[in-house]
Structure 1
Amino acid sequence: MVHEISGWRRLVLWPLAMLLQLWGRTLRFEIDEDARRAITKRDVPIAFILWHNRLFLAPEIYRRYRGKRPLVALISASGDGAWLTAFFSLVGMRAARGSSSRLGREAATALLAAQRAGYDIGITPDGPRGPMYDVKPGAVIVPRRTGAPLLVFGCEFTGVWRLRSWDKFCLPKPFSRVRMHCEVVTAEQLADRENGLTLLRNRLLALNPDPEANAR
């Protein structure tokens, strides 16, 4: 069963979505030229790869750096995922519903179709339930099949609140600085699945300095 948000709940979500968009626009992004070139490259569709606890930044990254190229994100079929799907739809992003535990095959098929149609796709390799900072095998299935490059994202915050969720979700404080990091991983580097998963995890950890990661 795929949970959905409709009716009055969606109406309640609309002003919250507008508030979160305004919140995102107050953030001061810092990015070097190599990372900027990688993130703004639009000649081919790409796969966004970022930790689940950095999801708050996804709509603002998409708005600032990817222009009008549509994006489809992999989001859990759960009730929590329904709220995230509704929010993303209000800011111009689409969802493929599923995860490694629920509707995984259907979601992978939807992402494959989206990327072959020219859409960017978004994947949180440790979502939707963790463990935190653990890359699941499903994270490389679609990029390996389409041959699309992966954009591996990281960020550092000058001011951030951490929620008491399984991933210690990051909420950057309004008007704080966010230092962006971005690297390209090619589909060829994922040819060997196990080595590819290790590579992704190592690059994500390196690009997202975090005491929680060092504790694992």
Structure 2
Amino acid sequence: MSISKSKFIRKYFLSNIAYLLIRTITFSLRIKYINKELVDEILRSGKKIIFAFWHQRQFLLVNSHKRMNILLMTSISDDGEFQTEVLSKFGYNFVRGSSTKGGVGALKAIVRGINQGSNAAIAVDGPRGPIYEVKDGIIFMAKMTDSCIIPVSTSSSSCFIFKKAWDRYILPLPLSKCVIIYGSPLIVKRDDDNDKKRQELKTELDRLTAEADRVVGLISD
């Protein structure tokens, strides 16, 4: 099989299958939202939001946030290209880059996008970990845009955990009881200490994740 044909299959055929699978699984789930009124209030006020979440917990966020004018960052790789193809079908916009390749330019592009009216979302420990460690990028973005960070986590009563993946990715199983829980806004000022704010965000994301697991009764090993 030629490379061009392989890329064609991946880009158009497999991405459509992935899109349909996400939609089908999500449609079957019983999703409870906690503290979503805080997000709705901020959006109505016109203030811009950067959603922060763990890479492991992102599946439930894909369909639920598709109409919020959100800008995403995807890595400059074949996997990143595939992710872009899938998520673009939900209406998201993108910049390409990561913490290791094209990252500075991508962060600046997201900052421009937010300042021009977009919201943003970022897996704060992505794209390759370490798991549950907040990186500096989101703090830089918040400082440069005067937007607020909204931590969000998710859980599912029944799920498949990819134990060999660096993030132990969680895929909710059809018909599961699920929850999406939002934390209080984190405001970052220009002169705030980056490490302190990263730790504040990690603490809140850890708390939200534990609470989400408790709500649905998930016991993770």
- Sort the TM-score into its range (normalised by shorter chain): 0.7 to 0.9
Deviation at 1:139, TM superposition (A): 2.4
1:42-53 correspondence to structure 2 within 5 Å? 42=43, 43-53=46-56
- Asked if residue 26 in structure 1 is aligned to residue 25 in structure 2, the reply is no
CA contact (8 A) 2:52 2:149 kept: yes
Q: Which residue of 1 aligns with 2:127?
A: 128
Deviation at 1:31, TM superposition (A): 2.2
CA distance in 1, matches of 2:79, 2:191: 30
- Asked if residue 11 in structure 1 is aligned to residue 12 in structure 2, the reply is yes
Q: Which residue of 2 aligns with 1:87?
A: 86
- Asked if residue 62 in structure 1 is aligned to residue 65 in structure 2, the reply is yes
CA distance in 1, matches of 2:40, 2:174: 24
CA distance in 1, matches of 2:10, 2:78: 12
SS at match of 2:142: helix
Report the residue type matching 1:108 in the other structure: L
CA contact (8 A) 1:38 1:151 kept: no
Q: Which residue of 1 aligns with 2:188?
A: 187
- 1:190–1:92 Cα change, 3 Å: farther
Greater displacement, 182-191 / 97-106: 182-191
The TM-score with structure 2 as length reference comes to: 0.84
CA distance in 2, matches of 1:62, 1:208: 18
CA distance in 2, matches of 1:55, 1:182: 13
Identity over aligned pairs, percent: 24
SS at match of 1:208: helix
CA distance in 2, matches of 1:145, 1:185: 14
CA distance in 2, matches of 1:58, 1:179: 10
Deviation at 1:6, TM superposition (A): 5.6
Report the residue type matching 1:58 in the other structure: L
4+ residue segments displaced more than 6 Å: none
CA distance in 2, matches of 1:173, 1:118: 35
CA distance in 2, matches of 1:148, 1:180: 21
SS at match of 2:100: coil
Report the residue type matching 1:25 in the other structure: F
Q: Which residue of 1 aligns with 2:150?
A: 151
Deviation at 1:101, TM superposition (A): 0.8
SS at match of 1:7: helix
CA contact (8 A) 1:189 1:196 kept: no
Deviation at 1:7, TM superposition (A): 2.9
CA distance in 2, matches of 1:206, 1:196: 15
CA distance in 2, matches of 1:205, 1:36: 18
CA distance in 1, matches of 2:150, 2:92: 17
Instruction: List runs of 5+ in structure 1 lacking aligned partners.
Output: none
Q: Which residue of 1 aligns with 2:178?
A: 178
Tell me how large the CA RMSD over aligned residues is.
2.1
Q: Which residue of 2 aligns with 1:106?
A: 105
The TM-score with structure 1 as length reference comes to: 0.86
CA distance in 2, matches of 1:82, 1:176: 29
Report how many residues are paired. 202
User: Rg larger in 1 or in 2?
Assistant: 2
